[in-house]
Structure 1
Amino acid sequence: MNQKSSGRLDALVARAQQDKAEREKGYRERALKMYPWVCGRCGREFTAANLRELTVHHRDHNHDNNPLDGSNWELLCLYCHDNEHQRYVDATPGKDGGTGKAATHNPFAGLADLLKRE
């Protein structure tokens, strides 16, 4: 990749990150005004001192679905939010980033033969 293409790509990535941050800031601020500062799963309460650990979760997992009434949001602590997304990945076939095929490697395949030799 030449320097000119690399510069354009860097600018595009920076712009996408900036746009995402602006979108998040908007719905995060609205959700924090709408809902009590409590994790919707574990019930942990938050104050201004630790509010950065409270996140906005999109119930339908679509970060572009931000209705003004907040019906697609719930406030979750970092840990519950990570857990919710991992449960979604585990429950959705093909969402694991892999091929969706079962593992075929068997690390103990030759173990019986190795044990017989000794």
Structure 2
Amino acid sequence: MSKVDALLAKAQQERESGYRAKALRMYEHICGRCAREFSGKRLSELTVHHRDHNHDNNPADGSNWELLCLYCHDNEHQRQVDLHYQKEEAAGQKSPQQTFKGLAGLAELLAKK
């Protein structure tokens, strides 16, 4: 890992530990989606989700945060990715094209036999 990468990782960790610690003090240790409770070693599975998806928006009152477990947090971000592609398709923009065709040439191979 380069020095720049190490510095960036350290800065991100410090920023996250600051608002994560605040959020854990402010809110019950329960996932905001699936309502699972977390304590002890499993508390590390509880993450801070930024409602507006802006990690630099960290108001002191915690109004942009919610605690989500790892699974619900990943699900929330995947929903945002899906929504982004749906909007592109609705606007007529090109979506990523499939380039690999696993069965390409199968008809030719079957015809040879």
TM-score between the two structures when normalised by the length of structure 1 = 0.77
Give a deviation string over 1:76-110, Cα, whole Å, max 9, x none.
111111222222223223xxxxx952114322232
Match of 1:115 in 2: 110
Q: Residues of 1 paired with 2:69 and 2:35: CA distance?
A: 9
- Taking the aligned partners of 1:12 and 1:106, their CA distance within structure 2 comes to 40
Residue in structure 2 matched with residue 70 of structure 1 by the alignment: 62
Q: Read off the aligned partner of 1:115 and give its amino acid letter.
A: L
Q: In 2, distance between residues paired with 1:52 and 1:23? A: 16
Q: 2:79 aligns with which of 75, 87, 96?
A: 87
- What is the count of residue pairs matched by the alignment? 105
Residue 69 of structure 1 aligns with an amino acid whose one-letter code is: D
* Residue 69 of structure 1, CA deviation: 1.4
- Unaligned segments of structure 1, at least 5 residues: 1-8, 94-98
**CA–CA distance in structure 2, aligned partners of residues 82 and 20 of structure 1:** 19
Give the distance between the partners of 2:76 and 2:47, measured in 1 at CA. Answer: 12
- Determine which of 12, 19, 28 is the counterpart of 1:36: 28
Of 15, 19, 23, 2:11 maps to: 19
Segments of 5+ residues of structure 2 without an aligned counterpart are: 86-93
